[in-house]
Structure 1
Amino acid sequence: MTNTIKFDIDSDGIALLAIDVPGKSMNVITQEFISDLDGLIDKIASDDTIKGAVISSAKDSGFVAGADLEMMLGMTAMVDKVSPEELFRQAFSLSSTLRKLETCGKPVAAAVNGVAMGGGLEIILACHHRVVADNPKINLGLPEVMVGLLPGGGGTQRLPRLMGIQMSLQYLLQGKNMKPQEALGFGVIQQVVPADEIVAAAKKWILDGGKAEQPWDSKKFKIPGGSGVYDPNIVQTFIGAPAMTKKETKGNYPATLNILSCVYEGHQLPMDKALVVESKYFCDLLLGDVAPNMIRTLFVNKQAAEKGARRPKDQPEMKTKKLGMLGAGMMGAGIAYVSAMAGIEVILLDMTMEAAEKGKSYSTGLLEKAVKRRKMSQEKADGILGLIKPTTEYADLEGCDLIIEAVLEDVDVKADVTAKTEAVVPESCIYGSNTSTLPITQLAKASAREDQFIGIHFFSPVDKMPLVEIILGENTGDVALAKALDYVAQIRKTPIVVNDSRGFYTSRCFGTYVQEASNMIAEGVKPALIENCGVYAGMAVGPLAVADEVSLELSYHVGTATKKALGDKYVAQPSDKVIEVLYKELDRKGKKNGHGFYEYPEDGKKYLWPGLSEHFPLADEQPSQEEVTKRLMYRQAIEVIRCLEEGVLLAPEDADIGAIFGWGFAPWTGGPLSMVDTIGVKEFLAEADKLANRFGPQFSPPALLRDKAEKGENFYA
């Protein structure tokens, strides 16, 4: 037995390897695991009493969830400290071990009880026979592309050899999962049996004379669907795949092209040489910037946030049992749905019973779709729906341990519902506001218990958006923070914690993306150029399209309120006039009334409104794509740095998580502060100064940026 794998030999001479990585809720591949597996393979190969081996998991949580991403992040951090040969040796270690496994001379079967992702699936593919439990919840896949990497343990070579090149590329390039029956149909696995029979079935295959040879090691082997550069099917695949990939990724994700290169080159080579090719392309990604940034933000830091990185350590667990949801509009209805899905009783309150029932009907619609698609039983859907009680009576809030308010964005209206609510709820009840702009400290003044008042800001649509922004008012206490974070964990969202300010963090910084695009409209820059630059930079949506989604009406009112609040401190922007003309003069409210920067015909696709050029004439000389992209991306990053400087943000991690999951900042960058570090703080500062001189004070570098440049520091250590 090793530290990560339980080893035993049964009476039939079958070696049983049960993976059990200590200190992990799910098995992950670590350097220690690779070393342990390598040593056990030598034992299996050299011990004549061993007839074969079965690899399984000792954890009920699944087989193997993939590589330990903190280990991968460590490898990316050492690229400047080790030789290329040493980096390749480490990157090749799993691939080398799995190749040793499939050529050890003894039959090896995998008995898979649950999820097998990334390196977990690659272990299975290196076995000679694969048995998976008959459970539709099990996922098998190679999602490495989602973190800017490629499968580095033979996945780009074995999967195409099992299911054909064209079909395998869909899974390799998109990180798609397969269910057991799907994998069986593709020939990726050989058996699907009841969960309690997987090990017995794997052993039986060995005892029945299972062969210790992979099909690709046979001279007669042919890849399903064709292979080689002269096969017409393969030619067509590799002519179209790069163009389609470029269209989807906008050229921002080098992993996709590296995967294509691995498959194209590797499928023409013997397996040993093909695996070396794969590892070289894998190392190329480790040496780049995209994979390290994506791994750090999208997984390591995101998981830390979800596990309570910002939660006060001295507070006991405080799960929400009964939620009072004030306001049954779009946001309130969505919050009620995700809460009921988590098993929380919800009192959905609005001014009229019609409005409250309409809010509940949102959940009804989503649950009906789930039942229709066979993702949920009718009985379960009925149970979830039964947790939501529509009402107009504040007395029904009695017994609630958490309140979330999502009423009209008006201080007086919010103060009124706060007073009415606190009159009936227990003194221990925590009060959260879903406001997106109004300062929490100001709203908390209407509460008799300011220490129990906190901001809980969701994003629309609530059931799809993963982020929740927790905002601390000046007097918010640790109990309120712990309660809010425990609630967010219950509904399986990702939290960031920020300090109070107008617009908080996400709304404030997201607004700069739209504002700078509107500034360019005022200057006569072509709208299509602005939109395309936003999309090709990796943003989720172009800035003008997202302005319409949010609504120009809201943008106008938020701008008006901000001017009023800041008074002489307010710095006017050309964008102010653009929004004023569109909304006030032309009644173009955005998508909500079918007219904004875009036109939204009922029977067709949206298109940019041609009349924009009549009110904001196009300039004779148009800027380059590089300049427009830089203005859009730098503007956001500079505002993020201001938030960090002012203490609105608690840490760089919150900045990058919030940007990507809150307003769709380009994921390939790892977030705005990761982007600044990648560009180089000094280089970013110099460019920001140039932009400020040309386009205005919105690009003026914060003192924190200058300070870091002078000290030679990055935002991440």
Structure 2
Amino acid sequence: MIKYERDGGGVVTLTLDDPGQSANTMNATYVAAMTAAVDRLEAEREQVTGVIVTSAKKTFFAGGDLPTMARATKEDAPALFELLSTIKRDFRRLETYGRPVVAAINGAALGGGLEVALACHHRIALDAPGTRLGFPEVTLGLLPGAGGVTRTVRMLGLAPALTVWLLSGRRLRPAEARDHGLVDEIVSTPAALIQRARAWIVANPSAAQPWDREGYRMPGGTPSSPQLAAQLPAFPATLRQQLKGASLPAPEKILATAVEGAQVDFATAQVIETRNLITLLTGRIAKNLIGALFFDMRAVNGGLARPEAEVAPARKVAVLGAGMMGAGIALACAKAGLEVVVKDVTGELAARAAQHERITTTADVADLAGCDVVIEAVFEDPALKQAVFAEVAPVLAPGALLASNTSTLPITGLATGVERPESFVGMHFFSPVGKMPLLEIVVGERTGDEAVARAFDLGRRIGKTPIVVNDGRGFFTSRVIGTFIDEAIGMLAEGVPAAAIEHAALQAGYPTGPLALADEVSLSLVQRIRRQTAAATGPAFVATPSHGLVDAMVDEHDRPGRAAGRGFYVYEDGKRTTLWPELAALVTAEGRAVPFPDLKDRFLFAEAVDARRCLDEGVLRTAEDGNVGSILGIGYPAWTGGVLRFAEQHADFRGRALALAARYGSRFEPA
């Protein structure tokens, strides 16, 4: 695991290289190897002039051993304490070794990997495309527990350590990491990495960590210093504001660990850090997050739902429609190295998408000759979509993949207008394309496996996480997020104050309030989708109080959403300000006293019950797709581990769902 080499000048290079994995992690193999390496360093102290820690992998060090962490129970707490104490003891032995120790960071150093580097006296990073440094633990419901909190706070001070590194979960490029204090130097080649490390060792024979030097003072002061003491009360208030009122244990524990650890000696701070990490590790929320964002994500990206079909990679992509969505799709494809042609009805519209040298824009269908993929991103009208496919079909490469970016229209119906329905698939991107990581691939009744495989491979190539779902109105994501919005507007129609609705969703962990989200989506689109659904469903369609409220907003008060500058919210210069004061006057129902916990659960359960129906009906092919899709695509609270895992891990999902059904309607009845 750790190759030990001492050269003629006494410099020892410790090369991390786990023989059983493609990346180094803080597993049992590592722990034993690091103890052995430090033992040998101490035995050979008189022959050693310095130490370089580097990696033989493409990455420096990937972090903690998540499979082991995910299995941790409260009964494992003593063993976990011993394990973490061993890791920290070896780091402490390394940094107090009495010889200069340099981290030669040749790739990504995240979580535990950055903690390895922080136990060295000097950090030099390779400025390569994949090099990122950071503490993503907070996004997995954890904290950096191998000295990360303790060392970062002592190196930078409380406020910078918390805001830039520990609470943000950011993954910084080498230059950013240098600017924010955890990287000392940047080099451009692997050879220069080792050369600079050796040069620094020669120049700094008496290196020590700042907190081990005489006269050390924590940057910005300790919590007992008057200036910082005056600022401390704002820390939890700011955190609560950032969390939008949601109560999440990881950021709260990180804040507590940092502040408490800054008031005591280094060894005691390490113990505080260990205990708080074990509390998180053995809790439910960390398991939910690791389950979704590590295991489910790995399965989805690894092709769990991809058909086993051999297909050629995409070469040239045509994008039909140069609106915001079409331009975003084109840019994503171009950045991945694909040749892209964007077509719109006029050259002026098409030119909006020309943001990259690999993109050609046109109004002439002949310019799409030879494209082996076409992605349609025009207005949500079935006749228009079928017309644009019919127009371009004659010039495309033989067997070209035909994809529609529709968010709600059934793919099977759209495919009736093309000559090769087996090559027709839905590729539902999310806006803005450049930021949203999810791609929902929709399989129609006649879509072939090769088309699905080609769409999946294209999605992975452009950096998306592709879930594969079967056809149905709204598919999975649009259908389930529709229940979230409909539940909120239904609450409003019941007489629940709009502010309470928004706060309940935020405190449940949703990133955006549902009424604000409805404005973003546009109430006119919500209305149009509902009318299309009603027409397709016929007499079986059930109207709800929310429908009348949406109609009143759009048809009577001309408040269709954010794009128009007026919706549930008031907008000034395009920015959301306050809820529309006249909302309460629209509600004819008498105000209903709904317990605040019920408001939160109505959102969580409405989506969870419908997602389970999607699985039962075959719209969802796998639970993993549902969990990942709900978090990445529609903002289901990540702490749940995904919309289906929420139901699985709830102490009494069925009982609570039936209680909600009795109070608020049969839509909450579980399958």
**Interval of TM-score (by shorter of Structure 1 and Structure 2):** over 0.9
Residues 577 and 220 from structure 1, CA distance in 2 versus in 1: closer, same or farther, beyond 3 angstroms?
A: same
User: Residue in 1 aligned with 2:92?
Assistant: 99
In 1, Cα distance between the equivalents of 2:619 and 2:576? 40
Shift of 1:25: 4.7
User: Residue in 2 aligned with 1:498?
Assistant: 469
In 2, Cα distance between the equivalents of 1:500 and 1:540? 27
Q: Deviations over 1:142-201 (max 9, x none)?
A: 221122111111011111111222221212121345554565566544444554333233
Normalising by structure 1, what TM-score?
A: 0.88
Show the 5 A alignment for 1:175-214. 175-178=169-172, 180=174, 183-184=177-178, 188-193=182-187, 195=189, 196-208=191-203, 210-211=205-206, 213-214=208-209
In 2, Cα distance between the equivalents of 1:411 and 1:187? 54
Question: Which is worse superposed, 173-182 or 254-263?
Answer: 173-182
Residues 194 and 591 from structure 1, CA distance in 2 versus in 1: closer, same or farther, beyond 3 angstroms?
A: closer
Shift of 1:131: 3.1
Could you tell me whether the CA contact under 8 Å between 2:496 and 2:591 is conserved in 1? Answer: no
User: Residue in 1 aligned with 2:13?
Assistant: 16
User: Residue in 1 aligned with 2:54?
Assistant: 56
Secondary structure of the residue aligned to 2:5 is: strand
In 2, Cα distance between the equivalents of 1:605 and 1:396? 41
User: Residue in 2 aligned with 1:710?
Assistant: none
Show the 5 A alignment for 1:67-106. 67=64, 71-79=65-73, 82-106=75-99
User: Residue in 2 aligned with 1:288?
Assistant: 283
Could you tell me whether the CA contact under 8 Å between 1:656 and 1:670 is conserved in 2? Answer: yes
In 2, Cα distance between the equivalents of 1:90 and 1:677? 30
Could you tell me whether the CA contact under 8 Å between 2:341 and 2:361 is conserved in 1? Answer: yes
Are 1:417 and 2:417 counterparts? no
Task: Please tell me the residue identity of whatever aligns with 2:503.
Answer: N
Could you tell me whether the CA contact under 8 Å between 1:498 and 1:649 is conserved in 2? Answer: yes
Are 1:302 and 2:293 counterparts? no
Could you tell me whether the CA contact under 8 Å between 1:525 and 1:619 is conserved in 2? Answer: no
The count of aligned residue pairs is 667
In 2, Cα distance between the equivalents of 1:193 and 1:346? 35
Show the 5 A alignment for 1:154-553. 154-170=147-163, 171-178=165-172, 180=174, 183-184=177-178, 188-193=182-187, 195=189, 196-208=191-203, 210-211=205-206, 213-218=208-213, 220-227=215-222, 229-249=223-243, 250-316=245-311, 318-358=312-352, 360=353, 363-364=354-355, 384=356, 386-553=357-524
In 2, Cα distance between the equivalents of 1:221 and 1:602? 50
Q: Deviations over 1:562-615 (max 9, x none)?
A: 111111222221111111222223222111222221222348743211222222
Secondary structure of the residue aligned to 1:460 is: coil
Q: Deviations over 1:659-707 (max 9, x none)?
A: 1111111122222222222323xx11111112222222221211xxxxx
User: Residue in 1 aligned with 2:29?
Assistant: 32
Q: Deviations over 1:98-143 (max 9, x none)?
A: 2232234544222223332211111111113333346697433222
Shift of 1:396: 2.2
Residues 470 and 37 from structure 1, CA distance in 2 versus in 1: closer, same or farther, beyond 3 angstroms?
A: same
Match of 1:607 among 553, 574, 578: 578
Shift of 1:287: 1.6
Could you tell me whether the CA contact under 8 Å between 2:285 and 2:639 is conserved in 1? Answer: yes
Secondary structure of the residue aligned to 2:47 is: coil
In 1, Cα distance between the equivalents of 2:104 and 2:117? 9
In 2, Cα distance between the equivalents of 1:658 and 1:243? 32
User: Residue in 1 aligned with 2:39?
Assistant: 42
Could you tell me whether the CA contact under 8 Å between 2:70 and 2:290 is conserved in 1? Answer: no
Are 1:126 and 2:119 counterparts? yes
Q: Deviations over 1:597-644 (max 9, x none)?
A: 122234874321122222214734432221111112211111111101
Could you tell me whether the CA contact under 8 Å between 1:405 and 1:434 is conserved in 2? Answer: yes
Q: CA RMSD in A?
A: 2.3
Shift of 1:474: 1.6
Shift of 1:259: 1.3
User: Residue in 2 aligned with 1:147?
Assistant: 140
Question: Which is worse superposed, 281-290 or 208-217?
Answer: 208-217
Are 1:690 and 2:652 counterparts? no
Question: Which is worse superposed, 133-142 or 244-253?
Answer: 133-142
Match of 2:612 among 641, 661, 674: 641
Task: Please tell me the residue identity of whatever aligns with 1:57.
Answer: S
In 2, Cα distance between the equivalents of 1:604 and 1:428? 46
Residues 492 and 12 from structure 1, CA distance in 2 versus in 1: closer, same or farther, beyond 3 angstroms?
A: same
User: Residue in 1 aligned with 2:540?
Assistant: 569
Task: Please tell me the residue identity of whatever aligns with 1:139.
Answer: R
In 1, Cα distance between the equivalents of 2:81 and 2:616? 40
Shift of 1:442: 1.6
In 2, Cα distance between the equivalents of 1:333 and 1:182? 29
Q: Deviations over 1:64-99 (max 9, x none)?
A: 2322xxx3243232315x442123223444323322
Could you tell me whether the CA contact under 8 Å between 1:452 and 1:480 is conserved in 2? Answer: yes
In 2, Cα distance between the equivalents of 1:193 and 1:604? 42
Residues 500 and 93 from structure 1, CA distance in 2 versus in 1: closer, same or farther, beyond 3 angstroms?
A: farther
Percent sequence identity is 40
Could you tell me whether the CA contact under 8 Å between 1:453 and 1:480 is conserved in 2? Answer: yes
Could you tell me whether the CA contact under 8 Å between 1:45 and 1:106 is conserved in 2? Answer: no
Could you tell me whether the CA contact under 8 Å between 1:79 and 1:87 is conserved in 2? Answer: no
Residues 447 and 300 from structure 1, CA distance in 2 versus in 1: closer, same or farther, beyond 3 angstroms?
A: same
Could you tell me whether the CA contact under 8 Å between 2:70 and 2:291 is conserved in 1? Answer: no
Shift of 1:534: 1.2
Shift of 1:40: 1.0
Secondary structure of the residue aligned to 1:607 is: strand
In 2, Cα distance between the equivalents of 1:492 and 1:323? 16
Could you tell me whether the CA contact under 8 Å between 2:49 and 2:205 is conserved in 1? Answer: no
Could you tell me whether the CA contact under 8 Å between 2:611 and 2:643 is conserved in 1? Answer: yes
Residues 480 and 624 from structure 1, CA distance in 2 versus in 1: closer, same or farther, beyond 3 angstroms?
A: same
Q: Deviations over 1:50-77 (max 9, x none)?
A: 3332111223x3422322xxx3243232
Q: Deviations over 1:416-449 (max 9, x none)?
A: 2223332222332111111111111122222222
Shift of 1:462: 1.5
In 2, Cα distance between the equivalents of 1:484 and 1:194? 36
In 2, Cα distance between the equivalents of 1:187 and 1:581? 55
In 1, Cα distance between the equivalents of 2:462 and 2:261? 44
Residues 592 and 232 from structure 1, CA distance in 2 versus in 1: closer, same or farther, beyond 3 angstroms?
A: same
Could you tell me whether the CA contact under 8 Å between 1:102 and 1:212 is conserved in 2? Answer: no
Question: Which is worse superposed, 213-222 or 640-649?
Answer: 213-222
Could you tell me whether the CA contact under 8 Å between 1:139 and 1:178 is conserved in 2? Answer: yes
In 2, Cα distance between the equivalents of 1:467 and 1:603? 26
Match of 2:529 among 558, 571, 589: 558
Could you tell me whether the CA contact under 8 Å between 1:440 and 1:500 is conserved in 2? Answer: yes
Shift of 1:398: 1.9
Secondary structure of the residue aligned to 1:175 is: coil
Normalising by structure 2, what TM-score?
A: 0.94
Task: Please tell me the residue identity of whatever aligns with 1:52.
Answer: G
User: Residue in 2 aligned with 1:701?
Assistant: 670
In 1, Cα distance between the equivalents of 2:279 and 2:362? 59
In 1, Cα distance between the equivalents of 2:174 and 2:338? 32
